Structure 1
Amino acid sequence: MSTNLTPAQGTRSTDFAQGLAWMGLSMASFIGMSVGSRELAATLSIQQVLFFRALVGLFVILALGRALLPELRGLKMVRLHVLRNVVHFFAQYLWTIGIVLLPLASVFALEFTMPIWVAFFAFLFLKERLTTPRILATIGGFIGVLVIVRPGLGMVDPAAGLVLIAAAGYGLSLILVKQLTREVSPGAIVVWMILIQLPLGFLVSLTDWRPVSFTDIPWMLVAGIGALAAHYCQAQALKRLDASVVMPIDFLRVPMAAVVGYYAYAEAIDLWVFLGGGIILFSNYRAVMAERRAAMAG
């Protein structure tokens, strides 16, 4: 039997390998952004962390985003851009509080309830069907959250609740992005994100402004470039891989974050986080695979 690949098979194989590489860069960027944000929050306020992350992003888009000027001048769907970024900004604010107060692995595990919120908001706003697999994923995700926060075993950290609210905000933001992509390019969406969130970050940072030193600048670059790179690399991965492949790979951020937290901050590796994250992963993976099989059958 010949082992030669057809051109189509060779292209799919190349796309798969490239998609895995982009996904690895995305996960590393997310963790880099988290570490940079935590280090900045040691001397600056959370509001300043968000502002400087966006400020770094502004310099990046000024250098690379000139080709998007004609599209930006059209102000297409600008109201939806504003709504999306206000939601995303406050979700980032709550998420960053979680990064400062909770172990990194716990934050990422709780954040992975986002697919549950995406299914709910898609049903509410986009009129997508809430199928049995999605309902089962919701139940499984809720059980996974209970395993992570373990109510009843001492005082539940309120920061965990803030991260869950942030995950809901990210889910709503993703639905709004999905609506934007019908008429707006991904590059323009990123540029509008910086242009809207930068003044928001500046205004809220004035409520708790603290002195900035030169030693903060490297962490600003890590947090700001990490944030942009994470979203860009994830989009590149999604171009090459199905969401049903990207999502399980993305869950590897939980053990990666646990390792970084262990070596960088001497955080104990909590097996309950891995167990709860695994339940959330399995629930969402089964739901996506079931819907993929149904789509292929159709």
Structure 2
Amino acid sequence: MVLLRVLIKPFLNFSPVLQAVGLMIAACLFFSLMAGVIRYVSDSGMHIFQVVFLRNVAGILFFLPWFFQSGLGVLKTKRIGAFGLRSLFGFASMLTWFYAVSLLPLADAVALNFTAPIFGTILAVVVLHEVVGIRRGAAMIVGFIGAMIILRPGLTELSIGSYSAIFSAVAMACSMTMVKLLSRSENTAAMVALNQILIIPMSLIPAIFVWTTPTFDQLVAILIIGLLATVGHLCFTKAYTLADASIVMPFDFFRLIFSALIGFIFFMQEPDLFTYIGAAIIFASSIYIAIREARVSNADKDEKKKAILAQTKAENRSGPIR
């Protein structure tokens, strides 16, 4: 722990925005490496249900030093229902994402995963009754076109891996909505740890029916997955608490770059041109949506500040109430 503090101390001197960017790029690297190890474990014969369960168990192991130092009291929350809902969405996203990674080239799975912000906007309209203007609506349509370029329905056969990647993006959008709400009052590390704790019993049930004794190599790979996932989620969650999504989100494109490199180097996967074109279109639309939402949010905050200031001035002019 002392060595870790020494290594990250210079990083803490950077501005919050630069810290958020650095954390996001690091998270992209960790998640891409994790996807590569997941593909390796899947190719070795372990069922995805078992991989998901053991990944969460391994993730908790890396939180044990933090539990011993801080105590289990850090997990106390008055919003257990919100945590449970976030974990349910997270489990669904994780399960379908792992399955997609086991079937698709890594770059293809990541490219389709970029549709999450588009689904997040749809979710805001349906659940939160937000009004989507022409610009955001157009951006959603453009993003959908990008997904169709990758999938090319009618020209190529749609695989269950593609469906899994898209479903994972939908579940991720739901999960990230909950993360943003919880981050207003909850500790970053506690959010990640409690999420994994709640997912363990969810993932145990399907894992029981396909259980096989892991080999030594598989156990080592699972531990690596747990480490990469835990550190990646800590970096990802902290990045979103340090800066607005419109600043952090553009750097999520590094996931495609890292994943394409890992897929090519270790699995001889070569994504076609359509994957890169579709991913660029999806990502551009997602960035526009994020920037647009940030501007609307800032405008709403400014209007509220002006209203409060006007009310305060009016009260000062009228004098104290006797």
Same fold, TM-score > 0.5, yes or no: yes
Greater Cα shift, 139-148 or 30-39: 30-39
1:38 aligns with 2:39: yes
Tell me how far apart the structure 1 counterparts of residues 286 and 19 of structure 2 sit (CA, whole Å). 24
**Within 5 Å, which residues of 2 pair with 1:44-193?**
44-66=46-68, 67=70, 69-73=72-76, 75-193=77-195
Looking at structure 1, the residues matched to 297 and 42 of structure 2 have their Cα atoms a distance apart, in angstroms, of 45
Cα distance 1:294–1:89, how it changes in 2: closer, same or farther (>3 A)?
closer
Q: State the SS of the aligned residue for 1:129.
A: coil
Q: Quote the offset at 1:284 in angstroms.
A: 1.8
Residue 24 of structure 1: how far off its partner (Å): 2.0
Mapped to 2, the partners of 1:68 and 1:145 lie a distance apart of 45
- Residues 153-194 of structure 1 show CA distances to partners (whole Å, capped at 9, x for unaligned) of 131222101111111011111122233334432222212212
| Change beyond 3 A, Cα 1:208–1:80 | same
Is there any run of 5+ residues in structure 2 with no aligned partner, and where?
A: 1-11, 303-322
Paired residue secondary structure (2:15):
helix
* Pair 1:41–1:59, CA change in 2 (3 A): same
Q: Distance in 2 between matches of 1:16 and 1:167?
A: 26
Rg bigger for which structure?
2
3-state DSSP of counterpart to 1:184: coil
Question: C-alpha distance in 1, partners of 2:98/2:270?
Answer: 20
Q: Kindly, what percent of the aligned residue pairs are identical?
A: 29
Q: Tell me if structure 2 keeps the 8 A contact 1:136–1:287.
A: no
Q: Classify the secondary structure of the residue corresponding to 2:158.
A: coil
Where does residue 205 of structure 1 map in the other structure?
A: 207
- What CA distance in whole angstroms lies between the structure 2 residues aligned with 1:257 and 1:214? 26
Q: Residue 15 of structure 1 aligns with which residue? A: 16
The 3-state SS of whatever aligns with 1:251 is: helix
Root mean square deviation of aligned Cα: 2.2
Distance 2:155 2:121 in 1: 30
Shift of the alpha carbon at 1:292? Answer: 4.1
Structure 2 equivalent of residue 231 of structure 1: 233
4+ aligned runs moved over 6 Å, structure 1:
none
CA contact (8 A) 1:116 1:134 kept: no
Unaligned 5+ segments in structure 1 are: 1-10
- Against the structure 1 CA distance between its residues 278 and 266, is the aligned structure 2 distance closer, same or farther, given a 3 Å change threshold? same
Structure 1 residue 35: Cα displacement: 1.3
CA 1:84–1:290 in structure 2 vs 1: closer, same or farther (change >3 Å)?
A: closer
Which residue is equivalent to 1:8? none
Q: Go from structure 1 to structure 2 and tell me whether the alpha carbon gap of 1:68 and 1:164 turns closer, same or farther (over 3 Å shift).
A: farther
Q: Deviations over 1:225-249 (max 9, x none)?
A: 1111111111232344332122111
Aligned residues: 287
Q: CA deviation at 1:295?
A: 5.4
How much has 1:273 moved relative to structure 2?
0.8
Sort the Cα spacing of 1:161 and 1:54 in 2 relative to 1 into closer, same or farther, 3 A: same
2:96 and 2:142 mapped to 1: Cα distance?
A: 24
TM-score (norm 2): 0.82
User: 2:25 maps to which residue?
Assistant: 24
Measure how far apart 1:13 and its partner are. 6.4
Maintained 8 Å contact 1:133/1:291: no
CA deviation digits over 1:58-97, x for unaligned, max 9? Answer: 1112221342622434x52222222221221122111111
Aligned to 1:4: none
Instruction: Provide the secondary structure at the position in 2 that maps to 1:252.
Output: helix
Amino acid at match of 1:28: L
